[in-house]
């Protein structure tokens, strides 16, 4: 890895840090808006109702328009519950997508560093299969690949740090594809991850997280969002330190 190779890799990571921070800031405004709206409707005197479609222009209305109307007490409940949960869900879905893109960009860059002769076709194939059979992880840690290792300031091994991130990918998949409830396959994956995690760090494993209720359903709170924000930032810094410690050749 040359100095330029390292600099370009660090730029990818730094871009990720910026995007994660920016995304939370924008979502924090949405979270605040939910609390402001809930408080406003709770304090409002008298009865009122709000239609979600009354201001839709005629030319943009559905052929069979569905009128949804909320009364004041329903709005208080919605903004304090369902609407807030949508913000939480969308935060996780969008931020894991951001992280996926950053990791794939880093993977693509390092593939070209290791093999300058790689063809566009082969590169596309490798990126397309990055998340299959831990191909990206294996490349990152393989001495014949990127050869990334645990930063000297950290205790968690590179593969374990990567595993923690893949657990958040399971959460995203659960929110998107299985009605917010863990599938048997993904529950087993979390259990397996918990089992192979050193006992002293098992509290980091999502298998034991209060994010899931006893049925495996995802129940999100602001603390879960803040914990995920913190983890994503720490993982990017972990990667940055690992790359920074690579020997220049």
Q: Is residue 53 part of a domain?
A: yes
Position 241 scores a pLDDT of: 97
Q: Is residue 218 part of a domain?
A: yes
pLDDT in tens, 171-180: 999 999 999 9
How far is residue 178's CA from residue 173's CA, in Å, rounded to a whole number? 7
- Average pLDDT score over the chain: 96
Q: Is residue 152 part of a domain?
A: yes
pLDDT in tens, 94-134: 999 999 999 999 999 999 999 999 999 999 999 999 999 99
Q: Is residue 249 part of a domain?
A: no
Task: Give the mean model confidence (pLDDT) for residues 57-83.
Answer: 95
* The token pair that represents 157 in the structure block: 């091994």
The yes-or-no verdict on residue 247 having pLDDT over 80 is no
How far is residue 13's CA from residue 235's CA, in Å, rounded to a whole number? 10
b/e per residue 35-52 (b: at least 16 CB within 10 A): eebbeebeeeeeeeeeee
Q: Taking a C-beta distance cutoff of 8 angstroms, is the pair 239, 150 a contact?
A: no
Q: Is residue 206 part of a domain?
A: yes
Position 149 scores a pLDDT of: 96
Q: Is residue 231 part of a domain?
A: yes
Residue 56 has what DSSP assignment? S
Residue 50 has what DSSP assignment? E
Q: Is residue 167 part of a domain?
A: yes
Number of domains in the chain: 1
Q: Taking a C-beta distance cutoff of 8 angstroms, is the pair 126, 133 a contact?
A: no
Task: Give the mean model confidence (pLDDT) for residues 178-186.
Answer: 96
Q: What 3-state DSSP class applies to 119?
A: coil
In terms of residue numbers, what domain contains 83? 3-244
pLDDT band at 208 (very low <50, low <70, confident <90, very high): confident
Q: Is residue 40 part of a domain?
A: yes
Task: Give the mean model confidence (pLDDT) for residues 51-70.
Answer: 93
The yes-or-no verdict on residue 248 having pLDDT over 80 is no
How far is residue 223's CA from residue 221's CA, in Å, rounded to a whole number? 5
Identify the helix (H) or strand (E) that includes residue 71: strand 69-71
Using a cut of 0.75, tell me whether the model's pTM lies above it. yes
């Amino acid at each position: 890895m040359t100095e330029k190779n390292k600099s370009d890799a660090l730029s990818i990571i730094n871009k990720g840090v910026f995007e994660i921070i920016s995304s939370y800031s924008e979502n924090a405004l949405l979270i605040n808006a939910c609390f402001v709206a809930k408080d406003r409707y709770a304090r409002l005197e008298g009865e009122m109702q709000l239609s979600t479609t009354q201001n839709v222009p005629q030319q943009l209305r559905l052929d069979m328009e569905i009128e949804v109307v909320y009364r004041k007490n329903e709005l208080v409940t919605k903004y304090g519950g369902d609407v807030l949960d949508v913000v939480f869900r969308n935060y996780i879905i969008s931020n894991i997508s951001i992280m996926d893109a950053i990791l794939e960009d880093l993977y693509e860059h390092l593939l070209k560093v290791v093999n300058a002769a790689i063809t566009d076709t082969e590169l596309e194939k490798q990126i397309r299969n990055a998340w299959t059979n831990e191909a990206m992880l294996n490349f990152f840690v393989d001495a014949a690949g990127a050869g990334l290792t645990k930063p000297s300031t950290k205790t968690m091994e590179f593969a374990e740090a990567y595993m923690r991130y893949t657990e958040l990918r399971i959460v995203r998949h659960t929110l998107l594809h299985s009605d917010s409830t863990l599938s048997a396959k993904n529950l087993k994956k979390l259990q397996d991850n918990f089992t192979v995690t050193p006992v002293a760090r098992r509290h980091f494993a999502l298998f034991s997280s209060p994010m899931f209720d006893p049925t495996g359903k995802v129940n999100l709170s602001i603390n879960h969002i803040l914990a995920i924000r913190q983890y994503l930032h720490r993982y990017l810094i972990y990667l940055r330190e690992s790359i920074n410690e690579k020997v220049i050749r």
